[in-house]
């Protein structure tokens, strides 16, 4: 077995197995900003147990939350807007393999989650998706296509089931010291 990326593997091990379990948000986010090169606004929170697939390519707007045990794959680029709430155990992917490729080639596509989006527990967001302003992704949904503004989607694959109030004016700020 040949190890092609020992420094990257070591960095991801430290990030995902050690730092993500430190019960202090300030220390974790300091590591994410300085070592992983993530752009995280100071008013945003990443709870314990978040698992990242690579350094860089991650932007998190003001007053946003990533809850515990989420899997975040920024290889293709992830942008979270302001007032975004990502619930526990959500998975956001930006990379996959082309099943039609003779050599199973990898490919990436960015994920964009705009302002005031709420993503329910254990949702899966696939590469290349944009979830537009004010949209809601129900728990357990698999998002394979863009979600229009203020649309509520659910199911596998996610389909529109409702419309959200357009007069959104709230702040997400429930970070906890030991989460």
pLDDT tens readout for residues 33-84: 999 999 999 999 999 999 999 999 999 999 999 999 999 999 999 999 999 9
Report the share of the chain in percent with pLDDT over 90: 89
Predicted confidence (pLDDT) at residue 153 exceeds the cutoff of 60: yes
Per-residue pLDDT, 8 = 92
Average pLDDT over residues 164-179: 82
By mean pLDDT, which of 4-8, 18-22, 114-118, 144-148 is the weakest? Answer: 4-8
Predicted confidence (pLDDT) at residue 178 exceeds the cutoff of 80: no
Per-residue pLDDT, 72 = 98
**How far is 2 from 16, CA to CA, in rounded Å?**
22
Per-residue pLDDT, 60 = 98
Is 25 tagged catalytic?
no
**How far is 48 from 75, CA to CA, in rounded Å?**
21
Mean pLDDT, all residues of the chain: 94
Catalytic residue among 25, 37, 97, 132: 97
pTM flag (> 0.85) = yes
Query: Would you call 79 helix, strand, or coil by DSSP?
Result: strand
Per-residue pLDDT, 29 = 95
Query: Strand order in 111-113's β-sheet?
Result: 39-40, 58-60, 78-80, 111-113, 130-131
Query: Would you call 141 helix, strand, or coil by DSSP?
Result: coil
Per-residue pLDDT, 24 = 92
Average pLDDT over residues 1-7: 68
- Judge: domain 6-163, CATH 3.40.50.2300: no
């Amino acid at each position: 077995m040949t190890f092609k990326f020992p420094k990257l593997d070591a960095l991801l091990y430290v990030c995902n197995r050690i730092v993500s379990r430190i019960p202090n948000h300030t220390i974790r986010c300091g590591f994410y900003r300085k070592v992983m090169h993530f752009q995280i606004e100071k008013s945003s929170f990443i709870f314990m147990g978040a698992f990242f697939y690579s350094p860089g390519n991650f932007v998190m707007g003001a007053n946003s939350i990533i809850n515990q045990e989420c899997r975040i794959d920024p290889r293709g680029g992830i942008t979270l807007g302001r007032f975004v709430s990502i619930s526990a155990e959500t998975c956001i992917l930006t990379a996959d393999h082309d099943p039609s490729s003779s050599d199973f080639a990898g490919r990436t596509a960015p994920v964009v989650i705009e302002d005031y989006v709420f993503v329910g527990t254990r949702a899966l967001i696939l590469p290349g998706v944009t979830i537009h302003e004010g949209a809601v992704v129900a728990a357990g949904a698999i998002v394979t296509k863009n979600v229009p503004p203020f649309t509520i989607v659910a199911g596998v694959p996610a389909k529109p089931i409702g419309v959200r109030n357009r007069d959104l004016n709230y702040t997400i700020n429930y970070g906890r010291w030991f989460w």
